[in-house]
Amino acid sequence: MPIQSPIDTLVCHFDNALKTLVPGAAHAHRLSPASQAEDQAMTEQETTHAAGLMRINHTGEVCAQALYQGQSLTARLPEVREAMEEAAEEEIDHLVWCEDRLRELDSRPSLLNPLFYGLSYSVGAVAGALGDKWSLGFVAATEDQVCQHLEKHLETLPEGDRRSREILKLMHEDELRHATTALDAGGVPFPQPVKRFMTALSKVMTRTTYRI
């Protein structure tokens, strides 16, 4: 595999940012699990709530793309860099599934996505610069946060929203695997104070993107 120049790498990362932020630009590699389910009737309030939850999850995937891209930019070991890029490709499926589901619910992604992408990319780059073991540990801690969000959303989704439920169930499986893989690859488990701080930051994201 030829070595990319710094400029080529930045161009690729910019292209990924556009695919992540522009609706309809990204394409999933796997069939959406929503195809396996049919919704039941939902009230207008239930539909609005489901859309809010899926908007949060879509923004979470935007952040995941940015984090992985930022980390791959500064990762030191080639195999770690490749693992980050592979994980980012898998997260594209989640991004597209959530985007498609928002469209089905007659809603849209968060208007704050460009802001969260920029912040997450910067955080990912810093994490990667600290060293691969910390970068992988950050992946595991982040995926743990995502899994907690998904579990809460599965509990609060309207009963009739079976299509969103199938999407979130498969997303949870993938995110859990990513966390385990990161730790097995040498990631350092983050201490609880750091995880609590990450939880506080994630609450800011969820509260704003639910409606905006």
Q: Summarize pLDDT for 55-92 with one digit per residue, the tens.
A: 999 998 888 888 877 777 665 556 665 666 666 677 78
Q: 33 is written with which tokens? A: 């699990």
**61 a known binding residue?**
yes
Between residues 13 and 45, which one has the greater pLDDT?
45
Cβ atoms within 10 Å of 169's Cβ, excluding its own: 13
**27 a known binding residue?**
no
d(CA 32, CA 43): 24
Task: Give whole-number Cα distances, 146 to 77, 149, 162, 168, in Å.
Answer: 26, 5, 20, 11
Domain harbouring 140, CATH code? 1.20.1260.10
* pLDDT single digits (tens) 175-205: 888 888 778 777 777 767 767 777 777 777 7
Range of the domain at 122: 41-209
Is 16 contained in some domain? no
Is 28 contained in some domain? no
**166 a known binding residue?**
no
Is 116 contained in some domain? yes
d(CA 26, CA 99): 10
pLDDT band of 1, cuts 50, 70, 90: very low
Is 11 contained in some domain? no
Measured in whole angstroms, the distance separating CA 172 from the mean position of its chain's CA atoms is: 11
Is 126 contained in some domain? yes
Is 156 contained in some domain? yes
Q: What is the pTM of this model?
A: 0.83
Pick the closest to residue 135 from 65, 57, 73 (CA basis): 73
Is 30 contained in some domain? no
d(CA 138, CA 142): 6
Question: Does the pLDDT at position 138 exceed 90?
Answer: no
Is 195 contained in some domain? yes
Number of domains in the chain: 1
